[in-house]
A and B are shown apart, each in its own frame.
Chain A
Amino acid sequence: MEFSNLEVRDSRSAGLTVAEIQSVLKAEMLCGEEKSGQQVFIVCGCDLISDVLAFTTPGSFLLTGLTNSQVIRAAEILDLKGVVFVRDKKPDEETIAMAKELGIPLLSSPYPLFESCGLLYARGLSGCGGIE
């Protein structure tokens, strides 16, 4: 993993597009290509749905290892801008179809959760904790 050309920002930035997130995380886009230009400012890394519901800021991008359809339901309820499945995980076709219908971009990245969070944090995206 190459970190030498990463610029760690002192303050949180103007965000990344979904396409830029895809590039940073070396991710495959499973659906939602039409939303590639959308700006993302906040990210949440979480593997517990109740924690996602309790602590995720609406409009965030979710990084998770959970691949069941309830992740998509939670994303819809919270107006999340998209979901990245980490560790090369992919949901089943039915779940991808549900996300497609709801207009929620889904990506799959080879990076584990910690590295994925770190890569996006280093690019200036904020978390949901409100801690700077």
Chain B
Amino acid sequence: MTPDSIATSELNYTFTVTAGDFSKAGSISTKIKRILQQIGAKPDALRRASIATYEAEMNIVIHADSGEIALIASPTEIIIRCKDKGPGIPDIELAMKPGYSTASQEAREMGFGAGMGLPNIHRLADRMDIESTVGKGTTLAMVFKND
């Protein structure tokens, strides 16, 4: 797809995240980064979207039972929507606090669990919406202006 054709179309991709699999974790963020590079996303939006998607992907791998990440890219903005099935977040305000983490021992041993995931996403995205139901799962949408 050439950059010119982006003017009139919107790209839509959905990827499945394998929760609990640290060997594959991050592969979807890398794919999304490549797609954004190919369609000529602006460097700043590309960087922020890639890092935030990686944080979100790791959240699903670490905390959820299963999940999906959707990329919707138009000439003016990049939307990343993450939906998972899992324990959900009982207190979103607490989860947004830097340093607060419920990551497992396995995740912490790999260097995760610093409690910076959601705060990082909030800082990187132009807009972030998060909803969660305990016992069901979480939906996270991030918007990055491509200008």
Contacts and interface: CB of A to CB of B under 8 A. Distances in A.
A50 B23 contact: no
B102 to A, nearest CB: 14
Contacts of B58: 49, 70
A17 B141 CA distance: 40
Interface stretch (B7-15, B114-122, B130-138): B114-122
Interface in B31-46: 33
Interface in A26-84: 47-51, 53-54, 58, 66, 68-71, 73-74, 76-79
A48 B58 CA distance: 14
Contact of B23 (A69, A74, A76, A78): A69
Q: Is the interface of A mostly helix, strand, loop or mixed?
A: helix
A49 B110 CA distance: 8
B116 A50 contact: yes
B55 interface: yes
Contact of A53 (B30, B33, B51): B51
Contacts of B30: 73, 76-77
A70 B110 contact: yes
Contact of B25 (A58, A66, A73, A76): A73
Interface residues of B, number: 25
A66 B107 CA distance: 12
A70 B108 CA distance: 12
Q: Is the interface of B mostly helix, strand, loop or mixed?
A: helix
A104 B17 CA distance: 24
B87 interface: no
A47 B111 CA distance: 6
Contacts of A47: 111
B111 A58 contact: no
Contacts of B111: 47-50, 66, 68, 70-71
A54 B25 contact: no
Interface string A112-129: 000000000000000000
Contacts of A66: 110-111
Contacts of B54: 53, 73-74, 77
Contacts of A71: 111
List the 10 closest pairs (A to B, CB-CB), nearest first: A73-B26, A50-B116, A50-B114, A49-B111, A66-B111, A48-B114, A77-B54, A68-B110, A54-B120, A77-B50
Interface of B: 22-23, 25-27, 29-30, 33, 47, 50-51, 54-55, 58, 110-117, 119-120, 123
